[in-house]
Every structure is written in structure tokens, then in C-alpha cells.
Chain A
């Protein structure tokens, strides 16, 4: 049976309570009948039956480029860059797609007699990946063959000696990337394109770039002019990366792009988590029982234990496509694959947008979802999962459900703590924040040290999280968080509510009593195509 596409459910009196993710927990909420609708993701697309065969085929028959084996020769410098821990979400079951692709690339390189190979986790200003995370991504065989000799490593955007300045775009944007990549005869970039923003020129122009480069598009102006940043045709972020990509290409850097897509089989079809992937009115008695048991169990678990349970989850997602070759041509095909899984047509905007935020976002894998990341996931990622127009009208209200604890991972997010305690205590205005505080954090010696030697996100990273939500901040009339830590929610500049009903009541002050409501039922990931 073909998977059913995503769709929009009009809520009536017979509609059962709707699932809201709530961090490491869940809420079941009744939405008002007659004025509410729920957007559901499509069911998981069928995974490729022979992913390794598909990968080999893509390498042999690339798009607008010679086959990979023709680009490989003895004595060459080959750099394989790959997406970091932020993709996919959650981490997928072994073997990770990156492992499959990298092994295929390395087989060809070995056949061609290439022996100068570096593998780089293209993490830009994200935290370094740990050994176990790298092993998970590339597989033990690759790790053991390269890491002990220092040939598999995390990119270091603060290693001045190993960065190369390649020039400026026509808009004056500086392009500075990994010197090893810039000086290689060939860069093979291995992507997992979880959402439509991923991949393309952004892979190299962002993943292997320094702060000097990134600040030209990771800023408030760019994010406020990316409507949305998930929609390539209307994304200033996308345009900037494309301009930079051309500078990289004109500088003589050859990139062989490999992009892969996955289906949204996040919770599987078996086991207690599978209920999270079903539509509520299709829940069987067994589903309901298993959901209740899971919810109750989680309620009584200490938060560390809950986090550990969720962080241990490996998604059974399958590969739905792989394309290789010239960056732009590949990316067009990949984007179509992403849309095939995620795009759901939605008619018109809503007054109130509701969403339940799950336990994970790109920046808290094996970590803590701190309040800044709650903001980023809701107002950055989920709000921007649209094409056409935002799901919620200008001046409308966003209601998010998440516990929003005043809690930070001290190793991963040290500058986030200071951002939250110092910067947000003074202002939540992204423009003011950027002007007054960004440089100090970006150039802070201690953050730099922790980024380079520990597992900390770069000092400037929390700013980017805030900018990610700046389009939504400008667009929305109010943001309400249900079930969050009151102090933390207020520090974010949002309003706390104990229940969804309270939140809807509060929202009525902004958008009136008969406001329309749309629930963004995510995850599994979906993207709204709003007409």
C-alpha cells in the first residue's frame, strides 16, 4: 500500500484529543471544534530497498559531473566532509547513511590509488563530535582506519593556520573555509538532507566556514529576509550561501556533492514509540494503553533518566534518495525528494498556531534542550517550516508546549548560559542583541578555548539561535509557552500558561474570541505549503 500523504484535519466534536509533544513527555489536548484544524505529516515514504546499490549508482552516474572514479587519481588530495551530529534527528539506527556513502567513496578512492585522504566533520561553529558520535556516523571501520592517524577529525573554525580566505562575493561577503578543503584536488561532501534548508552550497560554505564568513548570513537581517529559510526561492540565507558557493567554485575548489534524503519514520511501526507516528483517531486500544503507560512512566522518571531514554532512541528512518554530482543540480533533485516526503498543502493562514515541541532539536543531541533552544526550535525551525506564507498570520499568536526548564548543559552550551543570564536579562530584541553583544561573545577567549578543546558550541552560537527566530519574533503578535518554567519563559520574553485552555484564553486578547487555530503536528517532520 502506498503511504498516505500529509493532510489537514478539520476538528469537530468527534475528534479525539490531539497529541502534543512536550519535551521528554507528551500532552493530549482537545482543540475547539469548528475553528481548529490539524496538519499531519505524510506517512513515511518507502525506503530504498538497496541503499548501497543506489549510492554506488549515484557515484557512477552523477548529475552534470563526471563519475567519481574519473575524478580520482593517485597522488591527489581528497577531502571527504560530512554533516555533523545535528543531522539527522534523532540519530538514525546503524548503519548511518554517512557510513554507507563514505565507505563507497573510500572504496573508489582505494581503487584509484588515492592515499591522501582526510575526513572532516563539517560542524562550522557547532560542538565537536565525540569519538562515539563519530563512530556512529562513519562506522567503526572508517573510524579505526583514519582517526588514529589524525586523518578523521572535527573541523576547527578557530584554527587560524588552517583556514583559507578565498575572496568576497559581489555583496562583500567574505569567504573563509577549511584550508585542507580549499587546497584539495577534490572535496566530496556527504549530506543528510533532513529539511529543505540543508545541503547545496550551504554544505561547504557554511559547514566548513569560520565566523568571519558565517557572520555575513547568520545575522538578523538575513533571517528576517528569509521567508522562510526553508523555502529556497525566498531565503536570503540560501542566496548568501549560493553567492559564497560561487566564490568557492571560482577559487578552483572542486566539490563533488552527495546528497541523501530520509523518510520520516522517526518512531517506527513497532514498539511503544510507534504510537507517536499514528493519527489519534486510528489509535487502537493497545496504542492507547501503551501511550498511557509510556506517559505515566515518563511522568514519574527523574528528568535525567527521561533524557537518557530519549537520547538513546535511534530512529529507524530509511533512505529515500541519493543524488551525486554538481552541487546545484544535485540539490534541485534532493529538494524535490524532501518536499515529496514533507510538503503538505494548507489552505490559508491561521490566527493561532499551536505546536508541541519534542525533546530534540539540531543542537541538543545527547544534551539538554535549554530555553534558548526551545525558542529556536519553535520560532526558528517549526515556524519556518512553510512555503508561500507563514502558517500563522501577521500579528497572530504562537502557542508552544514544552517544559522549558531553566537548565543548560554546562559542557555543550557554556555561552548559552551567559547569553540567557546576561543578554536576555537586558533585552530580547535581536537587533539590539546583535549590535551590543555579539562580537564580545564571538571573540571571547574562554568560549573559543572550550569550542576548540572541549565539546562546546562556539561562543556566538546562542546568538544565531536567537536570530533564527527573529523572523517569527517580528511577525507574531504574541508567543505563549504551555507548561513551561515560568521564570525561564518570561526571560525569553514570552508568556507562560499552565494549560492550553489558558493559553487560548490569553491568545484571545490578541486575536479575538473566534480566532482560527491550526495545530502543527510535528514530528514527524512536515512542511506546510500555504496557499
Chain B
């Protein structure tokens, strides 16, 4: 079968790191990701089924991996060679369309009894992602046993699959997994109706977090940062009350929160940090700059939710200590507690959001596997090119339709 395969190849990984450092997405030209003919993965157990991907999205974490920018933290929890692709809408042998919930928790790994997190339904917090009868892999798309969405054939445990309603397009369905991440981040904000919330970044995750906040936990004031005009328009359309460029966020939050500011040096108009600020900041970028912004604009005892994958960053945490800021991560999904107290599966909420907010419109471009380099480079520069989600379209692959 045809698949994009990511090998453990240190020289290529190093080359990708250099190329990706020069231009986002360029790691795909020299790095370990290759289009190959490979044997299809075998079914690891009785509850596993074959899934034929229809659309598979390209995520920020995929891009970081391809550009050699992801943290070594992941090394023990992935297994090579793997086929990337964890944002997947596919179909089963009987034609049923499904969305994949890619976390490889205890159940998929045949571990019984399951760990405490899996028992609570907090799948993203599974304590056994490197154990059980599967090779290590935090998700499908990073595990050598399961295959991934960037191929014509993969396998999945039945517990990972969510049936797609007939009325939902493939484009909307492929947005369900990233939407689930956003729902989880939005609800991790614990924002109240009187709160001021800031969402940093307007890539896929940022935009979906805005939409999720607006739907599930609307604050009094919701400000988003967005670099590019199309992102700015989408952030507004999805529910941000105010949208500013990233460089303007400190000033904008200061105005919104009606607080004072502290400057450094003689340039007293240049804001170093606010004295008060937003109640919650959801950082959907995860860079040193965005984290610094988050800590600068959140109020004392406010909450910063890190939803974008940060990697290794250098940041001054004095403010976190001095202002008693709560810094929490938000990774994937599981089970959520809604503001009213109701408990719901994150994926169920994400399906609702995908339909209600018409998220299929965010799929800006699709590519066949053979044009994977263009696809990756497009995804890596999506914002500047007016795009949001770039995906592989496997529906017309020859192998899949012999």
C-alpha cells in the first residue's frame, strides 16, 4: 500500500531541522518523511478493524515532527517507522464512515485493569501509552503497529471510532479531532460568564478554541490574536469579540481589562506586563513569545492554558511566581465537565461543534499523497496563504479504488 512513512534516520532528521529552521515546512524536502510502498499493518487483536482513510489532516504537531522541531520528550512514546496522520475520517469495510479518536490508551493496548485516567474517561492522560501489546505510541499516527491517516490503509481499535452522521461532510468530519482538542482547551480555561478570555493564535487550534469557548463557555469578553487578515476575519466569524495582531495583544488586553501597565526602561509606553489583566489566556501557539505574552497579560491568580505544543522554550517564570499565575496544559481530550456540571465525551461535543459552526469550511486545500511535499509546505505556511486546515485526500487514490 502507499503511505507516507517517517523513519528513524538521524542524519535526515538533522537536515530537516536545519531546513525547517530556515523555512517552515522545508524539512519535508530533506527529512525522514518518504512516500513508500509498505506492507499494510496487521490487526493487533480481535477488536481491531481496518480503516481506509478518506481525509487526513496535517496538524501542527506533524509539522513540528517533519521540521525536526519537536521535543525529544516524545522519543520514548513513539515507535518507528510510523505513518503520520491522526486527524482522520475514514471508512470501514462495510462503508460506515468513522472519525478516529487517535489516543492509544489502555483499552487499545489490551491492558486490564485500565489505568486510573482511562477509568475516569480522561483518555489523554493515559499512563500506559508506552506499554501493553502495542509498540509505544501516544496516538495513532505515531505508533508503528497501527499505521496512520496519511496512507490508504490503517487499523484502529473499535473503541477509537466514532460514526459520522450521514449529514456531515468528510470535510467537517476531519475537523472533529482538532475540534475535540479545542473543546478540551476551552473547557480547561474554566472561564466564567463575567471573565475576560484571551486566545493567542489563530491557526486551526486557536480558531477552534474561539468557537468552542463561544459555544460551551462564553466569557464576557473574548479577544483573539491573529496574524493574517483571513485568520482575523475567521476569528471574528467564529466568535471573538475583538481580534488584534499578536504584537498588539498587551495593549489590547490592557484596554479591555482597564488595567495599568508596567514598562521597562525609558520607553514607558512600551508595555512589559499588565498589573491586572485577563482572567484566562489560552495559548494556542506554544512559542516562547506567546507564553511570554500569556504571562504578561493574565491577571494575578489568573489561568494560562497551554494548548499549543510548546517544545523546549526559554521563558522567565518570575511573573508566574510573583503573580501566582496558574499554568496548565491542555492535551487532546477524554471526558469534559460542562459549566453546568454535565459530563460529556469530548468527541461528542466536538461533533456538535463541527456541525454547528460549519467547521468543514476551514478545510482550505486537499492534496493527493504523491503531492505530499506541496501539502506539507502549504500547511506550514497556511496562515500567510489564507488557509486554515490542509489535508490529504485519499478518496481518489488508485489503490483504494482498484
Contact = CB atoms under 8 A, between A and B. Distances in A.
A233 interface: no
Nearest to A449: B260
B244 interface: yes
B269 A411 contact: yes
Contacts of A349: none
Contacts of B242: 422
Contacts of A456: 268-269
B227 interface: no
Given A417-B251, A421-B244, A421-B248, A446 B266 contact: no
B260 A410 contact: no
A445 B252 contact: no
A229 B245 CA distance: 37
A73 to B, nearest CB: 43
A450 B251 contact: no
Given A422-B255, A446-B254, A417 B269 contact: yes
B271 to A, nearest CB: 9
B269 A413 contact: yes
A86 to B, nearest CB: 19
Contact of A414 (B244, B252, B269): B269
A410 B244 contact: no
Interface in A68-99: none
A409 interface: yes
Nearest to B243: A425
B224 to A, nearest CB: 13
Contacts of B270: 410
A277 to B, nearest CB: 35
B268 A418 contact: no
Contacts of B259: 446
A411 B266 contact: yes
A29 interface: no
A131 interface: no
A456 B245 CA distance: 24
A455 B248 CA distance: 21
A454 B268 contact: yes
A455 B254 CA distance: 19
B21 interface: no
Contacts of B258: 444-445
Contacts of A450: 268-269
B268 A410 contact: yes
Contacts of B255: 418, 422, 440, 444
A418 B267 contact: no
Interface in A426-484: 440, 444-446, 449-450, 454-456
B268 A421 contact: no
B261 interface: yes
A interface residue count range (under 10 / 10 to 19 / 20 to 34 / 35 or more):
20 to 34
Interface in B35-75: none
Contacts of B251: 417-418, 421-422
Given A410-B270, A450-B268, A421 B261 contact: no
A37 to B, nearest CB: 41
Contacts of A417: 251, 269
Interface string B269-293: 1100000000000000000000000
A409 B258 CA distance: 22
Contact of A446 (B244, B252, B261, B267): B261
B262 to A, nearest CB: 10
Interface in A385-415: 408-414
Contacts of A422: 242, 244, 251-252, 255
Contacts of A440: 255
A407 to B, nearest CB: 12
Given A446-B260, A449-B260, A411 B252 contact: no
A412 to B, nearest CB: 8
A446 B252 CA distance: 13
Contacts of A449: 260
B196 to A, nearest CB: 15
A82 B117 CA distance: 73
A411 B260 contact: no
B353 to A, nearest CB: 28
> Could you say which of A413, A440, A454 has the most chain B C-beta atoms within 10 Å of its C-beta?
A454
Contacts of B245: 421
Interface in B231-268: 242, 244-245, 248, 251-252, 254-255, 258-261, 266-268
A450 B269 CA distance: 8
A448 to B, nearest CB: 10
Contacts of B260: 445-446, 449
Given A445-B260, A449-B260, A410 B254 contact: no
Nearest to B251: A418
B267 A410 contact: yes
A305 to B, nearest CB: 19
> Could you say which of B255, B258, B260, B266 has the most chain A C-beta atoms within 10 Å of its C-beta?
B255
16 contacts: A410-B268, A411-B267, A413-B269, A414-B269, A417-B269, A418-B251, A421-B248, A422-B242, A422-B244, A422-B251, A422-B255, A445-B258, A446-B259, A446-B260, A446-B261, A456-B268
Nearest 5 pairs between A and B by C-beta?
Answer: A410-B269, A414-B269, A454-B268, A410-B270, A410-B267
Interface of B: 242, 244-245, 248, 251-252, 254-255, 258-261, 266-270
Interface of A: 408-414, 417-418, 421-422, 440, 444-446, 449-450, 454-456
Given A414-B268, A421-B244, 18 more contacts: A409-B269, A410-B270, A411-B266, A412-B269, A414-B269, A417-B269, A418-B251, A418-B255, A421-B245, A421-B251, A422-B244, A440-B255, A444-B255, A446-B259, A446-B260, A454-B269, A455-B268, A456-B269
